[in-house]
Structure 1
Amino acid sequence: MNKSEILAEVRDYIDNKEPKRFIPGKSYIPATSPTIGSDDISMVVSAALDGWFTEGKQTKEFKRLLAKKLGMHYVQLTNSGSSASLLAIRAMEEQNSMPYVITTALNFPTTISMLYTSLYWHAPLFIDIDPYTLTPNLYQLGELYDEFKGKIAGVILPHTLGFPFEESKVREIIGDEVLFITDCCDALGAYTKNNGLIRHVGYYADYATLSFFPAHHITTGEGGAVLTNHPLKAEIVRSLANWGRDCYCLPGQTDTCGMRFEHPSAIDLPKGWDHKYTFTRIGYNLKMTELQAALGVSQIMASQAFFVLRKANFDYIKHGLSDLKHYLQFVMLPDWSIPSPFGFPILVNANRNFSSSELIAFLEKNKIRTRRFFGGNIIKQPAFSEQPRLIADTLKGTDWIMEGGFWIGCQQSLTIEMLDYMIDIFHKFFKEQNLK
């Protein structure tokens, strides 16, 4: 049996698997779920049959497709989104080791963890977010930037749940004096409009990070990426992800520069030292495997259809719940925003006679999975509550989201039958509360 015949068998096996039937009230509706088809599985099997498991042709192709999708020039694939954040922060430190970093209090824990555990310790300067748009409070950003000017290493801001903020305005505030990192892990496929230009999120940043965990828009099982438009910034990230090596040969490559044994060496290295074993940074091994990249190639080729379905599902849920707007707050979309919903966010309006916890419990009881906004107000989490930090004048928006916010799924795998069931269960809750 040749390779083509094996792959045909694989496709046939996947295509003929009996799909799970949705039974309302019996089947769980996940908050997140990947879409994996025969194209994906056959790509992974094909890569395995090629017998090359570290970076290779699939890695190269996935990088090319990601760069094209985001409109950026350089891509470093990683083994997770958290590793992507680590590399971006370490690269920031090499270029600016000042003690403070501005970020949002509504955040994912590993981003903040890396500020405390990186090579140069950094104290976060926490700003609030607008609970209506899920975007950072740029007024507070400007205030803190002016107050701590000359002491700030960088600004790290997330595009929460795929709803973008105005990166161009952040760049106007901070200029090029500090590093700007955008966490795009939730936001693949999201864009902003600025003076007639439409740019993918991450475009205005020095570094943009992505995650390909199964919960995200596309998946490589585990995986992530760091993207940049700057060749020197890209070189720092590449070296850090590759053990701190100075050499840029990929696995299996030798003497790409033509100077493997003639490369100028550090003063303490012997003359003629092998450049493949020259380490100029304290680095890691955070690379993506060839099998993960193969899955990434097939996933990103299908991603546009995923984005369209997610947005359609988001709109369908919003329309179905629109009569509950006196009780629930749904995210507002500014004119400049082209979101790529990671989930459907919901805020329970203040001064209602029910809590978000009660609504969440009711949804979970009826097999609808829910998620909180990651770490909520991160300074209230046990791991971070005693850590040094400074905060803006108020974090009221973040606190409201932590108290009253959660989200449900709108991913491309959800059917109309599932969406209708979700909408019906919401209405059932309000009917039982005598609110409808």
Structure 2
Amino acid sequence: MIIPLSRPDITNIEKTYVNEVLDSGQLSMGIKTDLFEKQFRDRFEARYAVAMNSGTSALHVAVKSLGLKAGDEVITTPYSFIASGNCLVYEGVKPVFVDIDPLTLNLNTSLIEGTITSKTKAILAVHIFGQPCNMDEIMKLANKYQLSVIEDSCEAIGAEWKGTPVGLIGDVGVFAFYPNKQITTGEGGILVTNHKNIFEMAKALRNQGRSLTNEWLDHEYIGYNYRMSELQAAVGLGQMERLDEILQKREQVANRYLQLIGKFNLPVLIPKIVNDCRISWFVFIIILPKGVNRNLIINHLSSQGVQSKPYFPSIHLQPSFQKKFGSQLGNFPLSEEMSERTLAIPFYTNLTLEEQTFVIQTLKKIV
């Protein structure tokens, strides 16, 4: 038995929409992309949505659409996928990291104000593993210091902070649809905002800098080929129609893991789920006891057909960031500790109780 780390949930609905695209002969810039964007506007009550070819592309466009530039600083978390740092570096913006909350693993909002300088222009909040950051504190600081707010909701579609969907609390939000996400388009992302100026710039930058009013092949800005294909949008249409079903199933899988961890007395922790939010389960993370050899556990699980991965290495210790910014071990000790102790175990929509039981029993034997 092989139990993969993740697996997309694709049905005949998605296949039907893909075949419609193939039969239409229009594989880019067509009606499916328009409909996919409309789904997001309707679902999250957003005025604007711009679909793109990846979450990273959408984050980059969010940064540029806010007018962030070389010399500016943006406060963010070091405990995240590297894209949330790279999207700033692309524009010469300096990521200013603050350490994380040891319980939720999200950005520690109590540390933000102490890092604000005259160069600070924005806060990039990452809703790690689908759990919202403390958006009350982030928005309060943003308003006090007149900072923009980018919500990296790439792992958090359907999550809510005090009843409000993440992605629409700040100035601009981004979702992503890599195959391990809650819903997928294979590759893909989308930018959402309620600000017309951000929308117009984002739509232009996505399509080689062509503004909304210009003629064919008339490019007002230096832009990018970040367009979502019609095939991607077709898969996304079917996934969005099933979003509530998918989120509910993933919550059921997560709850079964929590029960099994208790049943078998597995000596691990999970990130704390705060009362003010609704989590959208992206991955299932366990926090191993201090001093445990994680590589030994990963290798043992692999020998039994169970995939697992370390989640996440701290961005500031990535070779590219150490070389560029001179960051080093000890800069953000809580992020670094969690980077050594966290482990993602198999988690996806249709994971069975039998498979989950095998995963936890196998972990119990080695931990």
- TM-score, normalised on structure 1? 0.79
Distance, in Å, in 2 between the alignment partners of 1:210 and 1:153 is 22
| Matching residue within 198, 222, 233 for 1:282 | 222
| Matching residue within 108, 115, 131 for 1:163 | 131
- Could you say which residue in structure 2 is the equivalent of 1:39? 13
- Could you say which residue in structure 2 is the equivalent of 1:23? none
- Confirm whether residue 382 of structure 1 aligns to residue 319 of structure 2: yes
- Could you say which residue in structure 2 is the equivalent of 1:151? 119
TM-superposition CA deviations, 1:238-275 (whole Å, max 9, x none): 11111111235xxxxxxxxxxxxxxxxxxxxxxxxx74
- Confirm whether residue 228 of structure 1 aligns to residue 193 of structure 2: yes
- Could you say which residue in structure 2 is the equivalent of 1:239? 204
Q: In structure 1, give the amino acid aligned to 2:112.
A: L
Q: In structure 2, give the amino acid aligned to 1:301.
A: E
- Could you say which residue in structure 2 is the equivalent of 1:371? 309
- Could you say which residue in structure 2 is the equivalent of 1:214? 179
- Confirm whether residue 179 of structure 1 aligns to residue 119 of structure 2: no
Distance, in Å, in 1 between the alignment partners of 2:31 and 2:93 is 38
Compute the displacement of 1:339 (Å).
Answer: 0.4
Preserved contact between residue 68 and residue 93 of structure 2 (Cα < 8 Å): no
TM-superposition CA deviations, 1:104-157 (whole Å, max 9, x none): 111222332232232xx1221111111321211101112112xx1x31122112
Distance, in Å, in 1 between the alignment partners of 2:289 and 2:99 is 18
- Could you say which residue in structure 1 is the equivalent of 2:100? 129
TM-superposition CA deviations, 1:293-324 (whole Å, max 9, x none): 11111111111111011111111111111257
- Confirm whether residue 200 of structure 1 aligns to residue 165 of structure 2: yes
Aligned-residue identity in percent:
25
| Matching residue within 142, 158, 163 for 2:113 | 142
| Matching residue within 400, 416, 419 for 2:337 | 400
Compute the displacement of 1:326 (Å).
Answer: 7.5
Q: In structure 1, give the amino acid aligned to 2:362.
A: I
Preserved contact between residue 210 and residue 223 of structure 2 (Cα < 8 Å): yes
Compute the displacement of 1:355 (Å).
Answer: 2.2
- Could you say which residue in structure 1 is the equivalent of 2:82? 109
Distance, in Å, in 1 between the alignment partners of 2:345 and 2:158 is 19
Preserved contact between residue 159 and residue 280 of structure 2 (Cα < 8 Å): yes
Compute the displacement of 1:421 (Å).
Answer: 1.2
| Matching residue within 292, 295, 306 for 1:357 | 295
Change beyond 3 A, Cα 1:410–1:42: same
Instruction: State the SS of the aligned residue for 1:34.
Output: coil
| Matching residue within 89, 92, 101 for 2:63 | 89
Q: In structure 1, give the amino acid aligned to 2:75.
A: I
Instruction: State the SS of the aligned residue for 1:294.
Output: helix
Preserved contact between residue 309 and residue 345 of structure 2 (Cα < 8 Å): yes
TM-superposition CA deviations, 1:379-430 (whole Å, max 9, x none): 2111211222779x96222111111111113211211211121122122224
Q: In structure 2, give the amino acid aligned to 1:236.
A: M
Preserved contact between residue 115 and residue 123 of structure 1 (Cα < 8 Å): yes
- Could you say which residue in structure 1 is the equivalent of 2:351? 414
Please report the RMSD computed on the Cα atoms of aligned residues, expressed in angstroms: 2.0
- Confirm whether residue 66 of structure 1 aligns to residue 40 of structure 2: yes
Preserved contact between residue 96 and residue 153 of structure 1 (Cα < 8 Å): no
| Matching residue within 282, 298, 305 for 1:342 | 282
Instruction: State the SS of the aligned residue for 1:33.
Output: coil
Distance, in Å, in 2 between the alignment partners of 1:326 and 1:394 is 31
Q: In structure 1, give the amino acid aligned to 2:301.
A: L
Preserved contact between residue 124 and residue 389 of structure 1 (Cα < 8 Å): no
Preserved contact between residue 98 and residue 153 of structure 1 (Cα < 8 Å): no
Distance, in Å, in 2 between the alignment partners of 1:132 and 1:389 is 28
| Gap regions ≥5 residues in structure 1 | 1-26, 249-273, 431-436
TM-superposition CA deviations, 1:142-174 (whole Å, max 9, x none): 2112xx1x3112211211111111223201111
Instruction: State the SS of the aligned residue for 1:136.
Output: coil
Distance, in Å, in 2 between the alignment partners of 1:143 and 1:103 is 13
- Could you say which residue in structure 2 is the equivalent of 1:7? none
Preserved contact between residue 51 and residue 191 of structure 2 (Cα < 8 Å): yes
Change beyond 3 A, Cα 1:389–1:233: farther
TM-superposition CA deviations, 1:210-265 (whole Å, max 9, x none): 111111111111111111111111111111111111235xxxxxxxxxxxxxxxxx
Instruction: State the SS of the aligned residue for 1:153.
Output: strand
Change beyond 3 A, Cα 1:220–1:338: same
Distance, in Å, in 1 between the alignment partners of 2:141 and 2:16 is 47
- TM-score, normalised on structure 2? 0.94
Preserved contact between residue 159 and residue 165 of structure 1 (Cα < 8 Å): yes
| Gap regions ≥5 residues in structure 2 | none
Q: In structure 2, give the amino acid aligned to 1:112.
A: G
- Confirm whether residue 312 of structure 1 aligns to residue 218 of structure 2: no
Preserved contact between residue 102 and residue 127 of structure 1 (Cα < 8 Å): yes
